[in-house]
Amino acid sequence: MAYCLEIMSTQAINPSHGGSIFGHRVIHRDREDEHDNYFVQQRDTIGRLGLSTLQKVTAAFRILAYGVAADATDEYIQIGESTAIENANDVARFLEIGERRGFPGMLGSLDCMHWTWKNCPTAWAGQYAGRSREPTIVLEAVADYDLWIWHAHFGLPGSNNDINVLEASHLFANIANGTAPPAHYVIQGKVYDTGYYLADGIYPKWSTLVPTIHQPLGPKKKLFAMMQEACRKDVERAFGVLQSRFAIVKGPVRLWDKHVLHDIMTSCIIMHNMIIEDERDEQVDIQSWREAPAPEVDICRDERIIFEEFLARHRQIKNKEAHYALRDALIEHMWEHYGNSDN
């Protein structure tokens, strides 16, 4: 280390050779221009400096790392809730793309990935071993059309199946609490206000999930199953791209601490999304998309009413009748728009 520092200091004092290797010419790569304008401190209309780069980055990492509420960042680094929350417009974008792909109200596709834990402690090996007979840790994720992962729940033992992971995750917490961004759309003349996710056949029949149909009978259901499975591949492709970009989450991990593994997976997903966001405008040309307002939350002082409303929303999420009604409406919608009555 001392030798390397001595070389660096010598080069800094006497950079006559022009590069890090003697005799090589210097290539200017415009590193100063490689940045995201979102994190640049700017002035407002009256010339006052806005939020600093440190404030914006700190707020983002506190929300991602600690799961704090968006308005909690206001007390810590003086950033308002409307600045920290931008997912209402993300939901609007998902709805626009989902409708173009034949699924009005779709917010992405849901699935799980198992990460092999090579150095799992022996005492935990039985708990973390699943179908593969090797200890694994489960990542539950929701990805959209361009492989952007906007929900991730990581850490459950590999002995759990997708349903167990779903029950333990926070995917529908905002819906149950009444704080989810609005998702208004119409199918077959009926207005819906809660989005849904595409999933494979193991997932339960909830009003917020649309699994595929195994062994579909009839042309309508066959068309639905074909289109559903094609769109559902988004999350599987996202897992593949994530693993191809970061080899550490592809092969067996050799670390011991679960918290370190969580930080590694979270960091890889964040960097994956940064790449996706940087390339998004080049991949998809969206002329216009509906802009959703932020959710309005009424503050109720009666704890009993709050709890009853929470239970009602929770029951609606798991409403099997609402699930079949939504699925049947989607089947008819797709047949009207993409089906061939001659078949």
Could you tell me if 156 and 165 are in contact, meaning their C-beta atoms sit under 8 angstroms apart? Answer: yes
d(C-alpha 169, C-alpha 253), whole Å? 23
- DSSP annotation string for 249-261: GTS-B----HHHH
Res. 266: pLDDT tops 80 = yes
Res. 90: pLDDT tops 50 = yes
Flag the least confident range among 85-89, 195-199, 202-206, 246-250.
Answer: 85-89
Strands (E), the chain: 106-116, 136-143, 149-157, 185-187, 190-192, 196-199, 209-211
Res. 4: pLDDT tops 60 = no
* Other residues' Cβ atoms within 10 Å of the Cβ of residue 140: 23
Res. 235: pLDDT tops 50 = yes
Q: What pLDDT shows up at residue 205?
A: 92
Flag the least confident range among 32-36, 89-93, 120-124, 182-186.
Answer: 32-36
Q: What pLDDT shows up at residue 197?
A: 93
Q: What is the mean pLDDT of residues 9-23?
A: 50
Q: What pLDDT shows up at residue 141?
A: 93
Query: Phi-psi region for residue 98, left (φ > 0), alpha (ψ -120 to 50) or beta?
Result: alpha
d(C-alpha 181, C-alpha 174), whole Å? 8
Higher pLDDT, 187 or 281: 187
pLDDT band of 241, cuts 50, 70, 90: very high
Q: What is the mean pLDDT of residues 256-272?
A: 87
d(C-alpha 306, C-alpha 128), whole Å? 37
Most confident of 3-17, 21-35, 234-248: 234-248
Q: What digits encode the pLDDT tens for the residues 96-151?
A: 888 888 899 999 999 999 999 988 888 888 888 877 788 999 999 999 988 999 88
Q: What pLDDT shows up at residue 132?
A: 75
Res. 10: pLDDT tops 50 = no
Could you tell me if 310 and 302 are in contact, meaning their C-beta atoms sit under 8 angstroms apart? Answer: no
Residue identified by tokens 């179908």 is 131
Q: Return the CA Rg of the chain.
A: 24
Q: What is the mean pLDDT of residues 221-239?
A: 92
Q: What is the pTM of this model?
A: 0.69
Could you tell me if 177 and 208 are in contact, meaning their C-beta atoms sit under 8 angstroms apart? Answer: no
| Cα separation values, 164 from 90, 168, 222, 233, 239, Å | 28, 6, 29, 21, 20
Q: What digits encode the pLDDT tens for the residues 282-302?
A: 444 444 444 545 555 555 557
Q: What digits encode the pLDDT tens for the residues 20-59?
A: 566 666 666 665 555 566 667 777 667 777 777 777 777 6
d(C-alpha 32, C-alpha 307), whole Å? 52
* Other residues' Cβ atoms within 10 Å of the Cβ of residue 113: 21
Residue 163 pairs in a beta bridge with none
With 0-12 / 13-18 / 19 or more C-beta atoms within 10 angstroms meaning exposed / middle / buried, residue 232 is buried
Could you tell me if 126 and 146 are in contact, meaning their C-beta atoms sit under 8 angstroms apart? Answer: no
